[in-house]
Amino acid sequence: MEGGFLGFLEKNSIYIVLFIVLVIWSGIFLFLLNTDKRLKAIEKELKEK
Amino acid sequence: MAWKITLFVLMCFVIVTGISFPIVLHPTSWREFPIIPGLEEKAKIIFFHVPTAWLSVVAFLMAMVYGIKYLRNKNLDDDAKSSAALQLGMMFSILATITGSIWAKFNWGTFWNWDPRETSIFILLLIYGSLFALRSAIDNEDKRARLSAVYSIIAFLTVPFFIFIMPRIMLGLHPGSLEIDPTTNKVVQGTNPVVDFKMNGSMRLVFFVSLFAFTILYYWMWSVRSKAIIIKENLSKKIN
């Protein structure tokens, strides 16, 4: 692999793990955000009926 | 919303620093962690494994608090909140067991060593596991809520003993347990990395930020879970 960012990642592979964990955390965060939003909407709908 | 963004940022901070900061012999900047003899890179588990164990204590405490609340006002919503805390407490205990066990294989040689802390979490899993069996065996909502509240109060009384006392008064592998001093061959109180000076300032900062971030995450998961249980119960009441 040539130099640059990809070359850096190849030599310091812990940063690959770091990015993977960050992506997983973002996914979990967005999922929680979404679930919370949906539950609030259902709660509101139940109260109105 | 602000606290959710704070949670996101704090957790990213913990992940970035906890994973990428190198462990060196003599740290010269705040971006380096000191070496702890015998642990080296594996010391980083403290940023992720200890918070899960901490959250199980928080969750079981919350289950007890909402259990007491239920017994006082007989409001089924409090039972739902207690139940949500119990589920999360169980999940985090299992996570602490699994993460610790994977780590133990590489540091202590086997997945399971019957160290006092391992034994105590095993007993806690049994105690709280049987509460789920109890809950699922009772159809009557009020009876289930009352029994579960009483059980979660009694079960929590054992938690301080199992988590904070027993591992510190017995010989063990976890930091803080009693250990045998190799030079004098006498039993001495082991060092606790949180209290003593093996961790430097930045390591301690990341550790406490991690505890804080995980606690906010727990609170959010708990509120989502209890909301879902309350909605489910309200819906089933409307349908029947």
Q: What would the two tokens of residue B208 be?
A: 């406490």
pLDDT by 10s per residue, chain B, length 240: 899 999 999 999 999 999 998 888 888 888 888 888 778 888 889 999 999 999 999 999 999 999 999 999 999 999 999 999 999 999 999 999 999 999 999 888 899 989 888 999 999 999 999 999 999 999 999 999 999 999 999 999 999 888 888 888 888 888 877 877 777 777 777 766 555 556 778 888 999 999 999 999 999 999 999 999 999 998 888 887
pLDDT value of position B125: 95
| DSSP code per residue over B78-123 | HHHHHHHHHHHHHHHHHHHHHHHHHHHHHHTSSS----HHHHHHHH
What residues of A are in the B interface, CB distance below 8 Å? Answer: 14-15, 17-18, 21-22, 25-26, 29, 32-33, 35-36, 39-40, 42-43, 46
Domain residue extents for chain A: 13-48
Q: What's at B163, amino acid-wise?
A: I
| DSSP code per residue over B154-174 | HHHHHHHIIIIIHHHHSB-SS
Give the ipTM of the model, two decimals please: 0.84
For B188, the 3-state DSSP assignment is: strand
CA distances from B63 to B18, B74, B138, B219, B228 (A): 30, 15, 18, 13, 16
Measured in angstroms, the CA of A24 and the nearest CA of chain B are apart by 11
CA distances from B194 to A11, A32, B32, B191 (A): 33, 31, 17, 9
pLDDT value of position B149: 96
Query: What's the predicted TM-score (pTM) here?
Result: 0.89
CB B234, CB A43: distance < 8 Å? no
Q: Is B69 exposed, middle or buried (0-12, 13-18, 19+ CB in 10 A)?
A: middle
Distance CA B203, CA B130 (A): 38
Report the residue of B32, B42, B47, B220 to disrupt the A interface, i.e. the one with the largest count of A CBs within 10 Å.
B220
DSSP state at residue B195: T
Closest CA to B115 of B100, B95, B131, B125: B100
